[in-house]
Amino acid sequence: MVIKSAKNVFWQRDHEIKNIFATEEIIVLPSAEAWKKFKWTKKWFEEKPEEGYFIWVKKEINFPLATCIAISSPRTSQNLRNLLVIEKGIKAKIIATCNALKNNLCSTHKAKGKLILGEGSFLEYSHLHKWGKKDFVNPDYQFILGENSRLIYTYENLFPPENLKLKTIIHSYKNSHSNLSFIINGVNSKIDLKDILSLEGKNSQGIVRLRLVGRKNSQIRAKSSILAKAEGKGHLDCQGLLIDKNSKISLIPELICQNKKALITHEALIGKIAEEKLNYLRMRGLTEKEAIDLIVSGFLKT
């Protein structure tokens, strides 16, 4: 399959939908319209949505999908309900971008999303955030992984808001696989991260990887859990990098096993930048700030 450039299928700025793109293979609607048109969506939305998007991938596509939710006006408050459905055996790649277009908007972005993977489907989902210094952001997402499905999920936030509350739950059924990465660069931010990998079907597997940086008075609390209800395998890899003495990182890995045949493990580490690394880079002409930025960049990519 030849992968083409991404198609922006949904673009919303503040509360106005600027663009929707759909084809025979994919149905794209505002969530409120999907609620009215498809009765089965009520099960997943749970309550009538006011804004947000509905994407239904019905047939194989050969291009990545892109969505963009932006805030451009001061004190805008978004309350999104998003639903993504990938049908049986379909492979899809999605790049979801949420951002503030200015740095001082004091905006609020709340988003509840459900992403449903049908049997044997594959989804690569990149969730990219960029916010202003005074924003409040609260994403709350659930992934339902059908039998033999596979998920690669990356949440990346290198420009965090003042307050970030991020919750992610993965429901993994028989023979499903998930690979999750949370990459957050805390700068003058209060960050509360909670993720749960729930192994609910036989031979379900998952890896959760956290890379968290605390700098400039950031307070980061991350609780990462694996719940093994069925025979399966899971691993947590939690790492934090503390840059200055006024920041704080709290890592709380949690393993809960309810099946004697399950194997779940974790490793957690919080460290600081080694002086020898700084000295090495400064001897080669970098300033201290440039050296720190380079080390942080490398840490977030490992």
pLDDT tens for residues 72-91?
999 999 999 999 999 999 99
pLDDT of residue 31: 98
pLDDT of residue 4: 61
Q: What residue ranges do the domains of the chain occupy?
A: 7-301
Determine the pLDDT at residue 277: 80
Q: Summarize the confidence of residues 184-213 as an average pLDDT.
A: 96
Percent of the chain with pLDDT over 90: 85
pTM for the structure as a whole: 0.93
Q: Give pLDDT, residue 226.
A: 97
Whether the per-residue pLDDT at 17 is higher than 90: the answer is: yes
In order, the DSSP letters of 48-108 are --SB-EEEEE-S--SS-EEEEEEE-STT-EEEEEEEEEE-TT-EEEEEEEEEESSS----E
Tens of pLDDT, residues 167-178: 999 999 999 999
In the predicted model, is pLDDT for residue 150 greater than 60? yes
- Residue 184's pLDDT is 96
Six-digit token string for 281:
């880079």
What pLDDT does residue 3 have?
41
pLDDT for 302 beyond 80: no
Average pLDDT over residues 211-225: 95
pLDDT digits (tens, 9 = 90+) for 39-48: 999 999 989 9
pLDDT in tens, 269-301: 988 877 788 777 778 788 878 887 888 888 887
Least confident of 2-11, 49-58, 267-276: 2-11
* pLDDT, mean over the chain: 94
Q: What is the pLDDT of residue 145?
A: 98
Min mean pLDDT across 189-193, 205-209, 213-217 is at 213-217
Higher pLDDT, 179 or 292: 179
The answer on pLDDT for 2 being more than 70 is no
In this predicted structure, what is the pLDDT of residue 298? 84
Report the pLDDT averaged over residues 112-129: 97
Residue 267 has pLDDT above 80, yes or no: yes
Q: Could you read off the pLDDT of 20-30 as tens digits, one per residue?
A: 999 999 999 99
Longest C-alpha distance within the chain, in Å? 65
Q: What is the chain's alpha carbon radius of gyration, rounded to the nearest angstrom?
A: 20
What percent of the chain has a predicted confidence (pLDDT) above 70?
Answer: 98
Phi, psi of 39 (to 5 degrees): -60, -30
Q: Given this model, what pLDDT does residue 119 score?
A: 98
